[in-house]
Amino acid sequence: MKFKLGVSACVIGEKVRFDRGHKRSSFVCRELSEFAEFVPVCPEVAIGLPVPRPTIRLLDHDNEIRLVDTKDNDIDHTQKMITFSETKATHLSEQELCGYVVCAKSPTCGMERVKVYRENGYVAAEKIGVGLYTKALMEKMPWLPIEEDGRLNDPVLKENFVFRAFALRDLYDAMADGITKRAIIEFHSRYKLVLMAHCPKEYRALGQFVARVADHDIKEFFFEYRTRLMQALAFRASRKNNTNVLMHLQGYFKRSLDKKQKAELAELILAYRKGEMPLLVPLTLINHHLTMHPDAYIAKQKYLKPYPDSLRLRYGL
């Protein structure tokens, strides 16, 4: 089943930018299209701005961020954009959206480091801007994986974003028959090693939280769990944490492998820790041993196969 992926319309090739252009992302359009159902939005077009159109920018006006025309600060689109953004974000929050790819540097869609200008026309270096539309998405859906198109060229950021999108789809699928205590516990059990790799602190805290699921209203529990889970997974798994998980997995085979096999696996884990080979290498051997020596608990761990192999995202980790 495909997951719903919000996108800035220009990122999938729609010619909606101010100059009739686009910012088509090859990764999004070619590699993610098999797994994602795109939900395109251009907030500037949505509030009635034409294509082509005058450029717009964020302006620091009396310590308030305004969205104005670049050449005429009196042409102000702020309130119209805020109204649209909040309404759209509320609508999308009810659609089981699993991720969002936004256009970098845009005064409406940029996720970070968007230029903010002073009245005199110079960039306010001390101001760190966020596009007004993306700001509404982040505030309304703090659990939602959001990434800029350009940052997806980084293999680590790309892997983390895609993994979170698949994890959120998995969470929704796990609750398809209703949000129940059993469904939450079973889902969480499959993500224990993932959490151990991404955020050991929240791995422990969420484990305690899930243990007390019966003490909460189940829907309120789910909403809090979703946010805490996704925010924990936003921490990128470090080499150190991945090594700890690999060693943890190694322990499950201590009675199944002979001395030579144990040494081979230990050497691969050490080589990964030293940065001499990618994570995929020791994981491939662990999956091989799991096929030969099945273990029900390990087999269901999402850490071993968090997304389709065809995406080839662990090659560079």
Q: In what side-by-side order are the strands of the sheet with 36-41?
A: 36-41, 3-8, 97-102, 146-148
Average of per-residue pLDDT across 129-150: 97
Tens-digit pLDDT profile for residues 252-277: 998 999 999 999 999 999 999 999 99
Is the backbone of residue 312 left (phi > 0), alpha (psi -120 to 50) or beta? left
Q: Where are the domains of the chain?
A: 3-153, 154-317
pLDDT at 227: 98
Task: Please tell me what DSSP assigns to residue 34.
Answer: T
In 3D, which of 3, 14, 19, 116 has the Cα closest to residue 58? 116
Q: What is the per-residue pLDDT across 215-227, written as a single tens digit (0 to 9) for each?
A: 999 999 999 999 9
* Residue 171 reports pLDDT greater than 80: yes
**Cβ contact 16:24 at 8 Å:** no
Q: Measure the CA–CA gap between 147 and 28, rounded to whole angstroms.
A: 11
* Three-point CA angle 159, 153, 308, nearest 5°: 30
The predicted structure's pLDDT at residue 91: 97
* Whole-number CA gyration radius for the chain: 22
Q: Is the pLDDT score of 53 beyond 80?
A: yes
Banded model confidence at residue 316, pLDDT cuts 50, 70, 90: confident
Q: How many Å apart are CA 315 and CA 308, to the nearest integer?
A: 13
CA atoms within 13 A on the CB side of 1: 15
H or E element that contains 98: strand 97-102
- Model confidence band, residue 186 (pLDDT cutoffs 50, 70, 90): very high
pLDDT (average), residues 4-11: 98
Taking the C-alpha atoms of residue 58 and residue 28, their distance in angstroms, rounded to an integer, is 27
Lookup result for tokens 């491939």: 284
Q: Write out pLDDT tens, residues 206-217.
A: 999 999 999 999
In the block, tokens 């001499």 appear at 276
DSSP 157: H
What CA–CA distance (Å, rounded) separates 156 from 81?
33
Q: Which residues contact 55 (CB under 8 A, 6 or more apart)?
A: 18, 69, 70, 71
The residue-averaged pLDDT of 289-301 equals 95
Please check the confidence at residue 5 and state whether its pLDDT lies above 80.
Answer: yes
Split at pLDDT 50, 70, 90, the class of 121 is confident
Bridge partners, 37 (sequence order): 4
CA 60 to chain centre: 30
CA distance 130 to 146: 13
Residue 146 has which token pair? 């959001």
At 128, the pLDDT band (50, 70, 90 cuts) reads: confident
Give mean pLDDT, residues 74-98: 97
Flag whether pLDDT at 126 surpasses 90: no
Helix axes 155-174, 218-233, angle to 10 degrees: 160
Q: Of the candidates 109, 114, 177, which has an alpha carbon nearest to the alpha carbon of residue 147?
A: 109
The predicted pLDDT at position 125 comes to 78
What are 101's strand-pairing partners? Answer: 7, 147
226 CB-near residues (< 8 Å, 6+ apart): 143, 168, 171
Locate tokens 């760190």: which residue? 128
Element (H, E) at 170: helix 155-174
Mean per-residue pLDDT over the chain, rounded: 96
Stated pTM of the model: 0.95
SS3 84: helix
Q: Residue 120 and residue 116: Cα distance in Å, rounded?
A: 12
